[in-house]
Amino acid sequence: MPSFKYSAIGSDGRTVKGAIDAADQPALVEELRRRSLTPLRVEEKGASSPARSDARSAAPRRAQGAAGEKKGGRFSIDIGGSKPGVRKKEEVVIFTRQLATMIGAGIPMLESLEILREQAGSKNFRMLLGEVVEDVRGGQDLSSAFGRWEKVFSDVYVSMIKAGEASGQLDDILDRLADYMEASERLKRDIKSAMTYPVVSLVLILGITGFLMVSIVPKFKEVFASMDLELPALTLGVLATSDFCQEQWLLVLVAIGFVIGLVHVYKRTDKGSYQWDWLMLHLPVFGDLFQKVGLSRFSKTFSTMLKSGVPILGALEIVADTSGNRIISEAVLNARENVRQGEGLMGPLSQSPVFPPMVTRMVGIGEKTGSLEVLLEKISEFYDDQVRATVKQLTSLIEPIMIAVMGIVVGTICLSVFLPIFELQKQLASR
């Protein structure tokens, strides 16, 4: 009898992992349900592909080709890799909205999935939906079939589908899930628009400065050498910098690459990741924006999952994993521990500097009145508006700052070049 590894959520909201012997995956799922466990992920131990009958999985594997590869015993597809212009998130949002409409219209689940597979825009996504159809046809729940593709369907997605299956309101929850994903994408676009202008401006400033220091300033150095002048300190400094850039440009590039690589590696450690997230929240200009983004993401995800019927302990664990910031994640996990012990959310959240008093008090009121998901949604809407307003303010503020920085840099170089010329004119005029 084959042995399977599983990950499931217990009745208390905790994630449970383990291994169990079963005849096949449907038998394993049934056994987990008998133990009051809701399966998240199931995988046969030592198998080169997920446990299914070979007859059903052979054709999709032959069609796999270059679009997918097996990683760690699981078939992996990179959605959007085979068709230019197809983006994974957008395609999943459209699929989710269409599936909600079809199920709401009374079309059976399996037939809806087959129709959506046939009309999928990209080859990779069509292949993935083919695997999902085979899993559902083989007796798996839709949430279990989606749970295999963790890079495409997030924990939030799978948990909400599971709650929809349990409540019998899958079409409503799919609509809510599509709304949540669209709102999340809008938030990401707002952040990108806030970051794009300063990054592009900084690259242009560095490019112009490098060009002047390497190509223009050295030509004036030859002119200054022919003059019998004592060069100003500013000119000497610019000329020395130009010489260094010309002679040690490779060392400069290596040093920049080394520092970037070192920061990247340090960020992947627990301590480095925590300190980086702390730094992001305390940046002079962007820290306030990142805090508002984190609060919006927290409240939006938490509200959506509670509305969908996900148990609060399971919802808090997923919210902590998807918060995008270790500071927020730590506060949420502390709040989860409080809830598990029968206490409230407000205390641990109020102890974190990330959560302002308005948020913690609204959470406390929501707990007392039983309308926590409603107040969380209001918080999310408020911070979404705040993020958009902050992005506009930053855009209007950064533009003159970048222009001023470029003017100072270019002006300094030009002034260093013209000062000796002005001095020469004075000497000639005095003769």
97-106 CB contacts, 8 Å cutoff, 24+ apart: 97/174, 97/175, 97/178, 99/174, 100/170, 100/171, 100/172, 100/174, 100/175, 100/178, 101/171, 103/170, 103/171, 103/174, 104/171, 104/172, 104/175
CA distance 408 to 316: 49
- Top-confidence residue, 214 or 7: 214
Residues 353, 242: one domain? Answer: yes
Report the share of the chain in percent with pLDDT over 70.
85
Residue 82 pLDDT > 70, yes or no?
no
Residue 376: is it exposed, middle or buried by C-beta count within 10 angstroms (0-12/13-18/19+)? buried
Residue 364 pLDDT > 80, yes or no?
yes
Residues 130, 179: one domain? Answer: no
CA distance 163 to 169: 8
Q: Is the sign of the CA dihedral 81, 85, 87, 90 positive or negative?
A: negative
Which two structure tokens, joined as six digits, stand for 30?
């049934």
Residue 38 confidence (pLDDT): 62
State the residue range of the domain holding 104.
66-153
Residues 320, 275: one domain? Answer: yes
Residues 134, 224: one domain? Answer: no
Residues 107, 232: one domain? Answer: no
Give me the number of domains the chain comprises: 3
Report the share of the chain in percent with pLDDT over 90.
1
Residue 60 confidence (pLDDT): 35
CA distance 64 to 380: 41
Question: What is the largest distance, in Å, between two alpha-carbon atoms of the chain?
Answer: 105
Residue 313 pLDDT > 50, yes or no?
yes
Which two structure tokens, joined as six digits, stand for 420?
């000796």
Indicate whether this model's pTM tops 0.95: no
Residue 65 confidence (pLDDT): 35
Residue 80 confidence (pLDDT): 39
Determine the average pLDDT of the residues in 77-93. Answer: 52
C-beta neighbour count of 267 within 10 angstroms: 14
Is residue 57 situated within a structural domain? no
Residue 268 pLDDT > 60, yes or no?
yes
Residues 331, 430: one domain? Answer: yes
CA distance 332 to 343: 14
C-beta neighbour count of 288 within 10 angstroms: 16
CATH code (residue 116): 1.20.81.30
CA distance 154 to 322: 9
If you average pLDDT over every residue of the chain, what do you get? 77
Given 153, 179, 214, which residue is the final one in a domain?
153
Residues 119, 232: one domain? Answer: no
Lowest mean pLDDT among 37-46, 198-207, 391-400: 37-46
Residues 129, 177: one domain? Answer: no
Residue 258 confidence (pLDDT): 92
Determine the average pLDDT of the residues in 403-422. Answer: 84
Residue 222 pLDDT > 80, yes or no?
no
Residue 39 confidence (pLDDT): 61
- Top-confidence residue, 54 or 142: 142
CA distance 48 to 176: 36
- The four Cα atoms 32, 35, 40, 42 give a dihedral, to 10 degrees, of -30
